[in-house]
Chain A
Amino acid sequence: MTMKKLHKLSWLLFMALFSACSHSFLEIYPENTLNEGNFYKSDVEITLLVNGCYVPMRDYEKNWHWILAELPSDNSSFQNNIRTGEPTRGVIDQFIHVSSNLAFSSFWNLSYNGITRCNKVLTEIDNPGISWSNEQLKFRGTGEALFLRALYYFNLVRQFGGVPLVLQPITAKEAMNYKRVSENDIYESVISDLKLAIENLSKASSVHENGRAGEQAALALLGKVYLTRERYGEAETVLSQVIGSGKHRLLQNYAEVFNPASKDFVETLFSIQYSEASAELANTFIFNFAPHTSGGEVTNRPNINIVGAGWNQPTQDLIDSFEEGDSRKDVSIQFWVGQDWDGVVRPIPYCAKYKPPINAPDNRCGDNFPILRYSDVLLMYAEVLNEQGRSAEAVPFIQMVRDRAGLTKPISESSQGALRDLIQAERQRELCFENHRWYDLKRTGKAVEVMTAHGARERAAKPFLYPEAYLQIEKKLLAPIPANEILINQLEQNPGY
């Protein structure tokens, strides 16, 4: 207080003599970089910020999400027989991870980084000082930010359970007041964001661009959220809107969906966009997923060292799940013959959905990573119908997916239970390596049962696994809150860590 008074006093003393306008004199923004103080002017700047909301998701899908959503499932494992020196990924596959694991903190940090970007857009976009060349751009930006925020939270809640719910930009000090809220609160926020996203995106159809989140993506995601919450009726409504819109359909050939020469297919509702143009824009999936002993034979880039690769390796369980004649198997899984972890030469499976680079000189791959595909929508729709006891109505949608896979034989199952199993099996085969399986296992309550059986098979097959491997599945269904956040922000840890 006294400081202010003294300031005023000195002002009074000197203002009479000097009329320098101190505030403009002291307000200096850097000339060679953009700065918030001189930034928000028009839709151009806002669109830059909206584009920025996608970036953290690109980075976490590329490096971390498959570790948290595919590796713990029965779909994939790893080729290396290493125990030490790899404290991040192998331990997650075996359910022996701890809270200091880099994968969780990276995923957490990138998620909140993305949420913060969305929050920033949503606080600034209504600023009356911004000039809009086209009002639809504003609806599009709002919708995208809401959609992405919902998606970030949806993945967070499925990994960690309830997390701090931050819906506006906050300072470090304010962050101390944000504690974990209930899972339900997060889902409610996700649902309300998506509803609002749908409303906005529906008014922005003329400025829609391939790769951006659009109305159908928001509807499908909302369907998935409802499905996860077992709110089948609401899920049916939104999913039927997607199907009814006619904007998406299955491609003729499953392999086409993963053709790196093309992208943004009519089957894809939303995908993370990658390009070989630069390291920043590219993914490196194949350089992580190829057998680490395969040199350049799988990646086609002999100069790239992949001795640390061999991750997300298809398990025998997954390989065995494909029926005879299923065209999806060869697209998803291929084999390279060579020395395996034990020095024995054998055909080694690897995930083949994400292909080696076409043109890039190094390890830059350009295939997009699908988040929502039409076959997912069909299978979700079948599931909500089946769960509501309308099994017969569900069958054609499952059949559509199977037909495209070359399994044209009509489905024989008809009971709700049998169809339930079929739908999940179909999801496993159709959507493997697209980060669905672990979430599907958890939401259907099958995770412990399936993974315990899978773990027993793995332990038998791989003598180098840790002794505790696959023995703590039930305790580790939820990911640990990163140790750093517990320390800095006194967040409550999940039980089991």
Chain B
Amino acid sequence: MNKTLKKPWPILQIMKISVIQIFLSVMLSGFTYGYSAIAQEFLNNPVSVRSENTKLRNILVMIEKQTGVGFVYSSKAISADRRVSVDLKQKKLSEALHLILEPLKISYRIVEGQIILYPRNTAEESSIPDPDNSGSSYSVTDYLVTEIQVSGKVLDEKGEGLPGVSVLIKDTQRGTVTNSDGEFLIDVPDVNSVLVFSFVGYKSQEVRIGNQNFLEINLLVDDKALEEVVVVGYGKLQKKDLTGSITAVNQEAVKDLPVATLDQKMIGQVAGVQIQQVSGLPGAGTSVRIRGSGSLGAGNEPLYVVDGMPYSAGLNQNLNPLMLINPNDIESITVLKDASSTAIYGSRGANGVVMITTKRGQYNKTQVAFSAMRGVQSVPQKGRPNLMNQQEFVDLQRNKIEIAVRRAENREATLEDYPEEYRYPERLVGDGTDWYDVILRDAPIEDYNISIQKGGTDSRMDFGVGYFRQAGVVQYTGIERYSAKLGAETVIGSHVTIGANLQPTFIQQKRANTNSDRGDIIGVAHWANPLLSPYDSNGELIPYLVSPQSRYHSAWNFANPLFILRETTQMEKQFQSLGNAHLTWNILPGLEWRTALNTQWSTSNYFQYTPSTVGGANVPPVAGTGRSSNNRSEHFNWLIENTLSFNRIFGKHKIDAVAGYTTQKSTTRGINLNAAPYPNDLIQTINAAQTINSWGENVNTWSMISYLGRINYNFDNKYLLTGTLRSDGSSRFGANNRFALFPSVAGAWRISEESFMKGLSNHLNELKIRASFGVSGNNNIGNYSHLASINAGAYLFGNNQVNASYVGLANPNLTWEESKQVDVGIDAELLEGRLSATIDLYHRESSNMLLNDVIPAITGFNSQIVNKGKVRNRGIEISLGGRPLSGALKWDINANIAFNRNMVMSINENNDRILSGNNDNNPTHVTIAGKPIGQFFGFELLGVYTAEDMANPDIIKTTQVYEGNPKYRDIDGDGIINDLLDYTIIGNPHPNFTFGITNNFSYKGFTLGIIMNGQQGGQVMNGLRQTVDNLQGFFNVRKEWVNRWRSTENPGTGYLYGVPKLTPSWGHRVNTLWVEDASFLRISNVTLGYSLPGSLFSNSNFISSCRLFLTVQNLAVFTHYEGANPEAQSRNFNNTLAPGFDMTGYPLNRTVSMGINLSF
């Protein structure tokens, strides 16, 4: 048997074949099951035959020529010389065969791409009369005395015939597959034979023959199918064959989420993937961390691979690069987490890989779908600022003036010292202007998609268009996306497939300044004077508001934030086209060559115009000062991949291997121009500006050559072994390290397949333990960092100015960050899939961190970008799946939880600390060895200096030390409180664990999905506290400050300091007060769906299904954090080293939406 297999099946010329041989070939079909799908496809190929009174033999040859299919038959059993007349035009092969063979009482089946003819055998009719040559009859029983013939039909859950089902005689290698109608015919040795029916996506079924000779089998859908195919790097694998830690996102659970990008859909779905919505701006990027932060200087975002194209994402808080991919076009998302699965992406795999596959047409299938969604978004009350009302604010202002008068003139303040507006606080009723509310609105969101997927027998195509619009909950912001998708693929001959896809997308985004500093619109909306109104008496917006002033005190004036939003332009437009062309050549069965060309072309255009009517904080507008900023860039990225894949089964050995060679090059070219002033604001194009103040052009190019290989070896479906190797050569690496090698190995043992576990097989369907080790890299080290730049300068000789250059420091050793990861995991499935669990333990050590290291000055330089330092992430991820109810009312629950522990193991030889972030030119974060990355760094607030403190001779008296002023811990014990010297670690932004829970209920046509996610532990620093906890009287502050220290007799809470008596005060330094618990639980989505009963459409040839749904996105957040969003992140911060710093975050919206999905 093995002998036969070693040779590829020859293109047969066998004209004589016995029934025994037929059985031989049937037996072989069990091995070649993987190709039966293709075999089924050619039955749909068209044929045209027209001939009068021609020998059957010749007609079959004609069909062979047209379709490339071979016929196999015994001339003894089938009289091929019978003459037949046929007239067929463009009939399907299956139909043609039926028409030709049916009258001759010949049946056929397909084995290994060939059509085997045999005489139809029924109970009544055991021989076939030959009309032309009577007397020469043939009986099957002559040859098969001991065999019993069994026929039957396999049906799917809808009662329709299921083609391509493998039918195997148990404990043998003999078997067949069902035909296009789900029918099969098989000869079995005896009545005790058991047939095993199996098909992808269905549960296998075993049936004992007994005395039946016709079987009707209903295969049941296997939801938790281990046969589920998962997209991995450079291939697909069955889930049961995985050796690494790979999670596929359940598209069903997230398909109706009213969000703009796929990463937002992944929230809470995958254990160990932390996705933070750092800003609520429509189109804003998220921060995605797979298994923690492993890099100090080269970014921590995962690699996205879209249809094989490594897609540069990275964190862009303004505009998410994934915005250019319509999530409705996505077929599957897989997250590769451990090094054995990411190593195939080599120097880009260290932060994990997100594999995205888009929808494709299918052969022999036509699908037309339409979906529409509309909703409204608003900002929840929870998380809005709670500030002083008018009277409280006036009290603070008067307090400030009283102190100033006392200091300046040594007397108590009188009514005349206060500005008029503040003299009669009792007349001020209510909260005053809620500036935060002024800039917000209820905003619509809508999404429409049409897709057509059509497939014939040898070609398939797909076409889709989509329109998405999300207006921002902050006024005058929003995003629009127009997307399209076109794909086609065709089979040429029988071995070559070529295809192409094009995905053009255009987006346009209107931004506003948020997540930046207290001067941005969200900042102003917090501290703006509540006594002032944004509108004048005519209802017009006032451009610039002047706070009441006194000669002892001046509060901050500000530009009306709503006016800024209305008048300022910040428009980004981007167009991107993803293209792909590919050719696949089936060289031999199991051996396939594939060449693919991927391209990514994009252009972007950013225009910002600030008219002269727009002022700033304390900066009144000045006529003729309009300014503009233009950034235009274009980007082209191409990738050629050549891969050779091989998969074959040799007895109990199964091998699946791939080897490849890829080249890639990316070029980005951008021009920026800043122009000002504009004499008026009537024309905003650059030609109207008086001067161009600054300009520049940037060109960034990188290239890569890679060799890759992977082999999966499976012995007896019990022992799995994977080895991966990738070698990346990159223009980013120094000349001494140009090529990097990333190996990995993984193994798995499917214990449940062992014979000693068989007794448990009713309860334990699957138990697999996995282990992997591998190395991957992070090549985000800058395109030219390893090269010595020639820096320009100037000098002069006499009166001649000359250019004076000097050579920067080259680092030919500069290299990728390297990450080594060990992963051990268990996959288990119990009780017929009603319970499943995946548990992973991992340990990841990242080294060769990109750092700006201090070096000896005798080199001529003081610092250099080097590879130093080590960061460790280790943790546990647990995913549980359950189906508590599976009757008419179904309930599926999926939960995941991930614990990650991050620690910086070393930084450099001196183990220097890295300070990062910025508040008043002081750092907010520190990174030191032995602690997680980016700890909060600041003063520890002990309370306020009390009268007793002042009486204590041991308290050092400096100008900062007076009653009611904040008292910080003197960390270095020198008796003086100093910035930096007395800073200490005051919090940790890393959560103890993150989790997600997804519930899906269904009853008849109704579905209900509930998604929750959250984190426990970890802290967030609210940077705006510098302003809204600042009692200098410039700003409105949080309501809490009503209970501030006022006097010795009225000390308030003892923790909240008083209005400062001296400036600068210490009340606005980074301190423990700003650090809050970031734990939260979010009900991120609730979707109620209803599918109209199919009976409604049974008479319609138009609509085949219709589903309606209602969703609420971001229904509720439970958190102690006082700010708008515990995951918010300031835009201007280096995200890796200064995590968890919320500064004037754009609030997240709650969306209520309705939608409809129609298919035709």
A residues at B contact (CB < 8 Å): 3, 6-7, 10, 13-14, 17-18, 20, 22-23, 25-37, 39, 45, 48-49, 51-52, 54-55, 58, 105, 108-109, 112-113, 115-117, 119-120, 164, 166, 169-172, 175-176, 178, 209-212, 263-264, 273-275, 277-278, 280-281, 482, 484-485, 487-489
Chain B 606-646 interface mask (CB, 8 Å, partner A; 1/0): 00000000000000000000000000000000000010000
Known contacts A22-B705, A28-B702; 16 additional CB pairs below 8 A are A3-B739, A3-B741, A18-B661, A28-B784, A29-B787, A30-B784, A30-B789, A35-B789, A54-B804, A116-B860, A211-B798, A273-B797, A275-B799, A278-B794, A488-B855, A489-B858
B783 touches A28 (CB 8 A): yes
Question: Which stretch, B515-523, B861-869, B980-988, touches the partner chain A?
Answer: B861-869
Residue of A nearest to B800 (CB): A209
Contacts of A34 in B (CB 8 A): 789-790, 792, 805
Contacts of B665 in A (CB 8 A): 25
Contacts of B804 in A (CB 8 A): 48, 51-52, 54-55
A28 touches B661 (CB 8 A): no
B731 touches A55 (CB 8 A): no
B788 touches A280 (CB 8 A): no
Contacts of B800 in A (CB 8 A): 209
B663 touches A20 (CB 8 A): yes
Give A264 to B801 CA distance when docked, in angstroms: 14
B858 touches A170 (CB 8 A): yes
Question: Which stretch, B139-147, B342-350, B722-730, B1109-1117, touches the partner chain A?
Answer: B722-730
Contacts of B794 in A (CB 8 A): 278, 280-281
Residue of B nearest to A105 (CB): B857
A6 touches B727 (CB 8 A): yes
Pick the contact of B701: A18, A31, A113 (CB < 8 A): A31
B727 touches A51 (CB 8 A): no
Give A117 to B866 CA distance when docked, in angstroms: 21
> Given A39-B790, A113-B861, do A210 and B801 touch, yes or no (CB 8 Å)?
no
Number of interface residues of B (CB under 8 A): 60
A52 touches B805 (CB 8 A): yes
A211 touches B856 (CB 8 A): no
Pick the contact of B797: A7, A25, A117, A212 (CB < 8 A): A212
Chain B 849-892 interface mask (CB, 8 Å, partner A; 1/0): 00001111111111010100000000000000000000000000
Give A115 to B857 CA distance when docked, in angstroms: 11
Pick the contact of B856: A14, A27, A35, A172 (CB < 8 A): A172
B858 touches A175 (CB 8 A): yes
A33 touches B789 (CB 8 A): yes
> Given A109-B857, A113-B861, A273-B797, do A32 and B699 touch, yes or no (CB 8 Å)?
yes
> Given A14-B661, A117-B860, A488-B855, do A55 and B795 touch, yes or no (CB 8 Å)?
yes
What are 26 A-B pairs with beta-carbon distances under 8 A? A17-B661, A25-B703, A28-B701, A28-B702, A30-B783, A32-B699, A33-B784, A34-B790, A36-B789, A36-B808, A45-B805, A48-B805, A49-B807, A51-B795, A52-B804, A105-B857, A115-B860, A166-B859, A170-B858, A172-B853, A175-B859, A209-B798, A212-B797, A485-B856, A485-B857, A488-B856
Give A274 to B856 CA distance when docked, in angstroms: 30
Residue of B665, B702, B784, B866 with highest tally of chain A CB at under 10 A = B784
**Chain B min CB distance to A272 (Å):** 10
B795 touches A172 (CB 8 A): no
Contacts of B62 in A (CB 8 A): none
Chain B 46-77 interface mask (CB, 8 Å, partner A; 1/0): 00000000000000000000000000000000
Residue of A23, A120, A273 with highest tally of chain B CB at under 10 A = A273
Chain B 723-766 interface mask (CB, 8 Å, partner A; 1/0): 00101011100000011010000000000000000000000000
Give A488 to B909 CA distance when docked, in angstroms: 9
Residue B655 is within 8 A (CB to CB) of chain A in the complex:
no
Residue B793 is within 8 A (CB to CB) of chain A in the complex:
yes
Pick the contact of A25: B705, B801, B854, B862 (CB < 8 A): B705
B741 touches A7 (CB 8 A): yes
Chain B 798-816 interface mask (CB, 8 Å, partner A; 1/0): 1111111111101000000
A211 touches B858 (CB 8 A): no
Which residues of chain B from 790 to 840 have any CB-CB distance to chain A below 8 Å in the complex?
A: 790, 792-808, 810
A166 touches B858 (CB 8 A): yes
B697 touches A27 (CB 8 A): no
A112 touches B859 (CB 8 A): yes
Total A-B pairs in contact (CB under 8 Å)?
188
> Given A35-B784, A48-B805, A51-B804, do A489 and B796 touch, yes or no (CB 8 Å)?
no
Pick the contact of B795: A6, A17, A52 (CB < 8 A): A52
Give A300 to B1058 CA distance when docked, in angstroms: 46
B856 touches A209 (CB 8 A): no
**Chain A min CB distance to B735 (Å):** 8
Give A23 to B729 CA distance when docked, in angstroms: 9
A178 touches B788 (CB 8 A): no
**Chain B min CB distance to A127 (Å):** 13
Give A277 to B801 CA distance when docked, in angstroms: 9
Pick the contact of A26: B731, B789, B802, B853 (CB < 8 A): B731
Residue of B nearest to A278 (CB): B794
**Chain A min CB distance to B887 (Å):** 56
Give A169 to B810 CA distance when docked, in angstroms: 11
Residue of A nearest to B665 (CB): A25
Residue of B nearest to A20 (CB): B663
Residue of B nearest to A31 (CB): B699
Give A485 to B856 CA distance when docked, in angstroms: 6
Contacts of A20 in B (CB 8 A): 663, 705
> Given A49-B807, A109-B862, do A281 and B801 touch, yes or no (CB 8 Å)?
yes
A120 touches B857 (CB 8 A): no
Residue B1101 is within 8 A (CB to CB) of chain A in the complex:
no
Residue of B nearest to A7 (CB): B739
Residue of B nearest to A58 (CB): B795
Chain B 443-459 interface mask (CB, 8 Å, partner A; 1/0): 00000000000000000
Contacts of A28 in B (CB 8 A): 701-703, 731, 783-784
Residue B1141 is within 8 A (CB to CB) of chain A in the complex:
no
Residue B13 is within 8 A (CB to CB) of chain A in the complex:
no
B783 touches A172 (CB 8 A): no
Residue of B nearest to A45 (CB): B805
Give A117 to B854 CA distance when docked, in angstroms: 19
Give A6 to B739 CA distance when docked, in angstroms: 11
Give A171 to B741 CA distance when docked, in angstroms: 26
Pick the contact of B727: A10, A27, A31, A178 (CB < 8 A): A10
B663 touches A33 (CB 8 A): no
Contacts of B921 in A (CB 8 A): none
Residue B707 is within 8 A (CB to CB) of chain A in the complex:
yes
Contacts of B725 in A (CB 8 A): 6
Contacts of B789 in A (CB 8 A): 30, 33-36
Residue B1050 is within 8 A (CB to CB) of chain A in the complex:
no
**Chain A min CB distance to B793 (Å):** 5
B738 touches A26 (CB 8 A): yes
**Chain B min CB distance to A144 (Å):** 11
Contacts of A13 in B (CB 8 A): 659, 707
Residue of B nearest to A109 (CB): B857
Residue of B701, B739, B857 with highest tally of chain A CB at under 10 A = B857
Residue B910 is within 8 A (CB to CB) of chain A in the complex:
yes
Contacts of B1063 in A (CB 8 A): none
Give A51 to B794 CA distance when docked, in angstroms: 8
Residue of B810, B856, B866 with highest tally of chain A CB at under 10 A = B856
Residue of A26, A117, A274 with highest tally of chain B CB at under 10 A = A26
Chain B 693-723 interface mask (CB, 8 Å, partner A; 1/0): 0000111111111010000000000000000
Residue of A nearest to B707 (CB): A10
A280 touches B741 (CB 8 A): no
B807 touches A280 (CB 8 A): no
A51 touches B663 (CB 8 A): no
Contacts of B659 in A (CB 8 A): 13
Give A487 to B805 CA distance when docked, in angstroms: 30
Give A109 to B854 CA distance when docked, in angstroms: 12
Give A178 to B642 CA distance when docked, in angstroms: 50
Residue of A nearest to B866 (CB): A172
> Given A20-B705, A120-B806, A209-B797, do A172 and B855 touch, yes or no (CB 8 Å)?
yes
